[in-house]
């Protein structure tokens, strides 16, 4: 996204993800897996947005999005009880953790890394809505093609001597294998005891039939938007990437695995799509 003196807009993927989280609260039965309507306030979509095809016919994708967000927040809460107080969001988009989970966020130094235009738009919308930006929330604008995101993170006040939770979701699908390996190698330079949670996407032949149809539609739309899907990995390939990058205690957790965590005995039968897999690894 190019910077402009005019008010820019976040990319379609960030908007769609935020609206899915809001739609979960507005449409799906309680108990909600995640309570997040802040993104909806930021975007302020026109009337009828719930009838958009990418909202109306993607219930399983919506479920997987809220599940991965809940999984991250549970991970942050767990690691914070063990003394980790730095949280890095690589490719933060319209993340709203700092605005929603003030109870947990107050004890963390939070670093949101993304393109300058996305962060500027978000900062402006928060100000327009009268939402306070706490001192422990740090925006780290980066041009991923020319800048070192790790160097910019250090400039923003990140303490490289202390462990952190580093999260990256919805990004690897658009990166080459070489770019993913480079990112993993940079993350593995963080302090011992740091935890990485990064999502990857399974090849289409490993998906359930109904998820294959959504994947094919998503790929078509992504190509048309100029942001084609690039990289898919099996669980074994994901673990191998982590091992080669030097991580330890490597595990994978898919949205299918999350069915037992978040979707058991739901009255609405909500179930997540099965194409996304977390790599959860330790540094040091």
Lowest mean pLDDT among 5-14, 92-101, 181-190: 5-14
The whole-number average pLDDT for the span 32-43 is: 97
Instruction: Give 91's pLDDT tier (boundaries 50, 70, 90).
Output: very high
Q: What pLDDT shows up at residue 11?
A: 83
Q: Look up the CATH number of the domain holding residue 156.
A: 3.40.50.150
Does residue 7 belong to any structural domain of this protein? no
As a whole number, the mean pLDDT across the chain is 93
Q: What pLDDT is attached to residue 60? A: 94
For residue 243, is pLDDT > 90?
yes
pLDDT band at 216 (very low <50, low <70, confident <90, very high): confident
Percent of the chain with pLDDT over 70: 97
Report yes or no on 263 lying in a domain.
yes
Report yes or no on 3 lying in a domain: no
Q: Model confidence at 236, in pLDDT bands (50, 70, 90)?
A: very high
DSSP string across 56-118:
HT-HHHHHHHHHHHHHHHHHHHHHHHTT--EEEEET-TT--HHHH-HHHHTTSEEEEEE-HHH
Is residue 255 a part of any domain in this protein? yes
Lowest mean pLDDT among 4-13, 60-69, 145-154, 198-207: 4-13
SS3 call for 140: strand
pLDDT of residue 4: 38
- For residue 5, tell me if it sits in a domain: no
Total domain count, the chain: 1
Q: Quick check: is 199 in a domain?
A: yes
Give me the pLDDT at residue 224, please. 83
- Picking from 180, 179, 233, the residue whose alpha carbon sits closest to that of residue 204 is 233
Residue 242 placed within a domain: yes
Neighbouring residues of 37: CB distance < 8 A, sequence distance ≥ 6: 21, 22, 25, 26
pLDDT at site 279: 98
Angle at alpha carbon of residue 118, lines to 162 and 140, rounded to 5°: 25
Q: Looking at residues 153-171, what average pLDDT do you find?
A: 97
pLDDT at position 6: 45
Tell me the whole-structure pTM to 2 decimals: 0.94
Q: Which pair of structure tokens corresponds to residue 164?
A: 């952190």
Report the pLDDT averaged over residues 97-124. 95
Residue 1 lies in a domain: no
CA distances 232 to 63, 199, 270, Å, are: 21, 11, 25
Range of the structural domain that residue 199 is part of: 12-282
Mean pLDDT of 64-74: 97
pLDDT digits (tens, 9 = 90+) for 257-274: 999 999 999 999 999 999
């Amino acid at each position: 996204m190019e910077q402009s003196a005019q008010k820019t807009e976040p990319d379609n993927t960030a908007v769609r993800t935020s609206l899915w989280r809001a739609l979960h609260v507005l449409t799906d039965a309680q108990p909600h897996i995640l309570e997040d309507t802040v993104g909806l306030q930021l975007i302020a979509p026109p009337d009828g947005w719930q009838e958009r095809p990418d909202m109306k016919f993607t219930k399983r994708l919506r479920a997987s999005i809220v599940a991965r967000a809940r999984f991250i927040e549970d991970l942050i809460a767990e690691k914070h009880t063990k003394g980790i107080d730095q949280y890095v969001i690589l490719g933060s988009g319209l993340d709203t953790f700092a605005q929603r989970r003030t109870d947990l966020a107050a004890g963390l130094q939070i670093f949101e890394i993304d393109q300058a235009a996305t962060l500027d738009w978000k900062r402006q919308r928060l100000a327009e809505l009268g939402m306070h930006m706490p001192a422990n929330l740090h925006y780290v604008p980066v041009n991923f093609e020319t800048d070192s995101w790790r160097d910019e993170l250090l400039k923003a006040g990140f303490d490289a001597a202390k462990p952190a939770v580093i999260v990256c979701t919805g990004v690897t699908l658009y990166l080459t294998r070489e770019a993913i390996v480079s990112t993993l190698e940079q993350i593995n330079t963080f302090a011992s005891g740091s935890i990485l949670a990064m999502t990857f996407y399974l090849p289409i032949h490993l998906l359930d039939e109904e998820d294959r149809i959504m994947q094919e539609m998503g790929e078509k739309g992504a190509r048309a938007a100029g942001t084609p899907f690039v990289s898919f990995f099996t669980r074994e390939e994901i673990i191998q990437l982590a091992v080669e990058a030097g991580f330890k205690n490597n595990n994978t957790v898919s949205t299918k695995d999350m069915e037992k965590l978040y979707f058991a005995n739901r009255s609405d039968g909500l179930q997540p799509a099965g194409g996304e897999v977390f790599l959860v690894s330790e540094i040091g």
